[in-house]
């Protein structure tokens, strides 16, 4: 395919935007080449500035669960925009989407809307610290909870070593309160808790990891975290920015029947517009200002356009009783098709899948955490990415990102994707 205009636009962007992009993974640094500039999208397809049509498997990193330019969402935004785009005052639609979200998700009584997943996770941790009157948190290597300082931490030299910042600008003082655990390793978590008795406010986790590829929780892992939290007066935070309203109506809490204390949302809840949220039972949420002492605010939080988009999206997901089954079936079909091709061609790989999240790892070993995800053959992935792109398939430009399946995909689209995979490795 030809990307002459995208290349030209990227050169212009680099002059006025750091790296030419407003979110780093878009820069294609992990795979090489020039990022694709999009002109428009509809359903399961992207149309770039050079006129190429691409089958889309990132779907704006998750929110386009029903396809791009989904008409009920677009219509809701247009109608709301005609009445004004922002007021900085309460609107009825905020209550409507809050009531719907609370009715769909288990174990939450109240929800606070913000503008991004980063804000949601940052606010959830602050709330947990305020509620428990403790400072330290446990996060997991390879789980991404946004770019708030507390989350940009890498491991030290030992299992119980304090974290150290892996981004300039994050202070050692901030880093010392973040403890890094190994995903799917309960014993590691127990060791951290024992070494920091009565100091840990919360454990925050992606219940299904999506930022080291798709990595499901091992059987008993989430249950074990719940037990450890209960025994040690620690709040369990599920970062469901990716999984919320995607894996089930009630997200991972419903899918795995695990109750989190605080849940963070983003992506799907905004219908494609910038929205995040965090939610919990009353006793925790009532610690938030203006009811309680934990301060959190945002000028554009509850923006009417974002609320309209989110309400239209959640209403459809709540009323379409088969949508999650359809998504899971399409993802399974894709999984089996790609696996059959790669096995036939003797390409070393492992595929992880949960619901409508899936990733292909070019690895000899099972991928269960960040260490095993990092063992994948990155050169093979680079070839795979560019080969798929040349065949009209757009996947995430990083081996450490899950793919997101949209209900707008047809089985013909899935067959084209499987055939493209075969063409890459022939």
Do residues 93 and 311 lie in contact, with contact meaning Cβ atoms separated by under 8 Å? yes
> Cis omega (within 30 of 0) on the bond before 290?
yes
CA distances to 86, 333, 334, 391, 408 from 412, rounded to whole Å, are 41, 11, 11, 14, 11
pTM of the model: 0.95
Neighbours of 71 (CB within 10 A): 10
Q: Of the candidates 307, 256, 234, 281, which has an alpha carbon nearest to the alpha carbon of residue 79?
A: 307
Question: CATH fold of 4-69+322-425, please?
Answer: 3.90.1150
Task: For residues 426 and 417, give the distance between their C-alpha atoms in angstroms, rounded to a whole number.
Answer: 14
DSSP state of 59: G
Burial grade of 335 (CB within 10 A; 0-12, 13-18, 19 or more): middle
Task: For residues 73 and 76, give the distance between their C-alpha atoms in angstroms, rounded to a whole number.
Answer: 5
Neighbours of 133 (CB within 10 A): 7
The answer to whether the Cα torsion of 216, 218, 220, 226 is positive or negative is negative
- At which residue do the structure tokens 């288990």 appear? 106
Positions annotated as catalytic residues are 144, 239, 267
Spelled out in words, what is the top-level CATH class assigned to the domain 71-319? alpha beta
* Helix, coil or strand: residue 141: coil
Q: What angle do CA 21, 25, 31 make, to 5 degrees?
A: 110
Which residue ranges make up each domain of the chain?
4-69+322-425, 71-319
Q: Of the candidates 340, 355, 336, which has an alpha carbon nearest to the alpha carbon of residue 407?
A: 355
Do residues 270 and 310 lie in contact, with contact meaning Cβ atoms separated by under 8 Å? yes
Tens of pLDDT, residue by residue over 185-230, are 999 999 999 999 999 999 999 999 999 999 999 999 999 999 999 9
* Helix, coil or strand: residue 63: coil
Residue 392's pLDDT is 97
* pLDDT tens, residue order, the chain (426 aa): 778 999 999 999 999 999 999 988 898 998 999 999 999 999 999 999 999 999 999 999 999 999 999 999 999 999 999 999 999 999 999 999 999 999 999 999 999 999 999 999 999 999 999 999 999 999 999 998 988 877 877 533 233 334 456 677 777 777 789 999 999 999 999 999 999 999 999 999 999 999 999 999 999 999 999 999 999 999 999 999 999 999 999 999 999 999 999 999 999 999 999 999 999 999 999 999 999 999 999 999 999 999 999 999 999 999 999 999 999 999 999 999 999 999 999 999 999 999 999 999 999 999 999 999 999 999 999 999 999 999 999 999 999 999 999 999 999 999 999 999 999 998
Q: At 384, list the tokens.
A: 């795979």
């Amino acid at each position: 395919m030809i990307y002459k205009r995208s290349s030209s636009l990227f050169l212009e962007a680099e002059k006025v935007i750091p790296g030419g992009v407003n979110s780093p993974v878009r820069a294609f640094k992990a795979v090489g080449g020039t990022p694709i500039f999009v002109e428009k999208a509809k359903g399961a397809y992207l149309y770039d500035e050079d006129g190429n049509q691409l089958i889309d498997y990132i779907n704006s990193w998750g929110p386009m669960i029903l396809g791009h330019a989904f008409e009920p969402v677009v219509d809701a935004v247009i109608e709301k925009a005609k009445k004004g785009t922002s007021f900085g005052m309460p609107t009825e639609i905020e209550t409507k989407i809050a009531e719907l979200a609370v009715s769909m998700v288990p174990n939450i009584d109240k929800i606070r809307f913000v503008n991004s997943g980063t804000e949601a996770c940052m606010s959830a941790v602050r709330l947990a610290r305020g509620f428990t009157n403790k400072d330290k948190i446990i996060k997991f290597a390879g789980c991404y909870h946004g770019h708030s300082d507390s989350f940009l931490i890498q491991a030290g030299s030992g299992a119980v070593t304090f974290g150290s910042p892996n981004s300039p600008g994050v202070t050692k003082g901030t880093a010392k309160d973040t403890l890094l655990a190994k995903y799917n390793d309960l014993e590691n978590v127990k060791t951290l808790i024992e070494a920091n008795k009565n100091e840990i406010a919360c454990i925050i986790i992606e219940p299904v990891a999506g930022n080291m590829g798709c990595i499901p929780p091992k059987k008993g892992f989430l249950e074990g975290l719940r037990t450890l939290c209960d025994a040690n007066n620690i709040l369990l935070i599920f970062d469901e920015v990716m999984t919320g309203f995607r894996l089930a109506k009630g997200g991972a809490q419903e899918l795995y029947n695990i109750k989190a204390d605080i849940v963070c949302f983003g992506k799907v809840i905004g219908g494609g517009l910038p929205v995040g949220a965090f939610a919990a039972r009353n006793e925790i949420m009532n610690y938030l200002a203006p009811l309680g002492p934990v301060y959190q605010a945002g000028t554009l939080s509850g923006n009417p356009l974002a609320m309209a988009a989110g309400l239209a999206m959640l209403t459809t997901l709540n009323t379409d009783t088969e949508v999650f089954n359809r998504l899971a079936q399409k993802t399974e079909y894709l999984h089996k098709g790609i696996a059959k091709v790669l096995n036939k061609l003797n390409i070393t790989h492992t595929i992880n899948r949960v619901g409508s999240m899936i990733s292909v790892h070019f690895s000899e070993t099972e991928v269960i955490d960040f260490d095993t995800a990092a063992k994948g053959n990155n050169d093979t992935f680079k070839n795979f990415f560019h080969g798929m792109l040349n065949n009209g398939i757009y996947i995430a430009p990083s081996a450490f990102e899950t793919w997101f399946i949209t209900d707008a995909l047809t089985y013909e689209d899935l067959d084209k994707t499987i055939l493209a995979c075969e063409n890459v490795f022939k």
